[in-house]
Structure 1
Amino acid sequence: MNLSKYIAEIEDCEGVLSLRDTMHRIAGNFGFCGINFLDAGQPGIDEPFTVGSIPPAWDREYRMNNFIHDDPMLPIVRRSNVAFLWSQVDLPEGGRKRKLGSLKLMEASQDHGFKDGLVVPFHYVDHMGRHQIASCVYFWSDKLAKLRFMVKHKKHDLHVLSIYFAQKMSDLAAKEMKTRSKFMDQDGNPLLKVHLTDRERDTLSWAARGKTADETGDILNLSTRTVNEHLDNAKRKLGANNKTHAATIAMHMGLIDL
């Protein structure tokens, strides 16, 4: 495994979305089916900064059920720098009348095809000297014997790459947030406030997740032509050159979530 090559690919990324796609591809070479980066440093927040390549259905279920407050991995992330598997975490026993949220979360993850996952905590100091905590999660859907082999022979390599990935993601996210007000509309004026319709936000959100217009149409029950019309309107309002550019601007203006 050429770590230097992978590190160079991570370092060469110039945006949050390109970094996400690069790390997803690298993680795939280790056998993982998806990744997720999450700001874990602010307990209690319903919608922390997160970006990843997890399936939309799982992302939707996680958010709808507020699993962020029941996730048994996050307390460990906040107090440790050691990578661990989901299966290594002791879950509390549920009561007879009501199932605990952490148990519901893990059962739901299995329903979505995830057999296990690797969590890499990341503790660092940002450009303003503030202590930050992030979680890098790698989702596994293949045979568990293959995961055990990967952990035995390649976990340390992935841990090193995760450090570079998390630091780069933190730097790029901070940079893009800082330049939010520097975006320009189609007339070259500073882009300070934009109103997108619900459909424009929906189509952009799916575009940010890498979906084609055809796939987005199937998800939203719209024709491909209608999807492209919404994307074109959003691009025009945001002064963007393409849908990826529009999604990036919308994300950092707080108009859409990944």
Structure 2
Amino acid sequence: MTAIDLNSDIGEGFGRWNLGDDEAVLGIVSSANIACGFHAGDPRVMARTCRIAVDNDVAIGAHVAYRDLAGFGRRAMDVASEDLVPEIIYQIGALSALAGAAGGRVSYVKPHGALYNTIAVDERQARDVVAAIREADDSLVLLGLAGSVVLRIAEEAGLTTASEAFADRAYHADGTLVSRREPDAVLHDPAEVAERMARLVAAGELISVEGTPVRLRADSICVHGDSAGAVEMARAVRDRLLTDDISVRPFVGR
């Protein structure tokens, strides 16, 4: 591998509350998953984040979620299809308008939190998300978990897909993420995370919490913008990749 994308979940402030240093992160990553107002973000935050992304030549993605501000989109929900499909379209449309006003465009979609985890295994909700993307704009790329149900369904439906790995999350041997409710699910040491990502790019594998290698396909690496030390972690990963002669650029448009 000679190039890989580095993405981050950002724009997750709301009103007077800020979450993470979006401006600093956008100076490091190559793709930005911008919250669309359902789990976090509001029009002002979305517009500002889009402008900073455009200024830094960072690809813009719609970080769509369940309508769950109180739970930050991390609570599992059994949303009916007649609600979920238009809610995804609504979020894509809102961000697309604000991105366009900033001189950019939305080029991909990445589901957030509980929705992301649910559609990795749940066919009905996965089909709803795919249907919503196709109805909103079938040129959008779907970014998701490697080997997930939703990526298979999206590919069958003719959408372009991309797979990601999480720099700051622990994995089980079967390739699933360790639940945030478990200890050590989130990694915090920038040097350790950078070394893990170097191994992923070089060998296509990580070491699971069970101590065995887990094979992962990754077109993009995610560093969560709300993690403690997110800026330092993103910078450490980028610096290590560049040291290993791996260029960092968006997965869209390659």
TM-score in terms of structure 2 length: 0.28
Q: Greater helix share, 1 or 2?
A: 1
- The structure showing larger relative contact order (alpha-carbon pairs under 8 Å, at least 6 residues apart) is 2
Largest Rg, 1 or 2 = 1
TM-score in terms of structure 1 length: 0.28
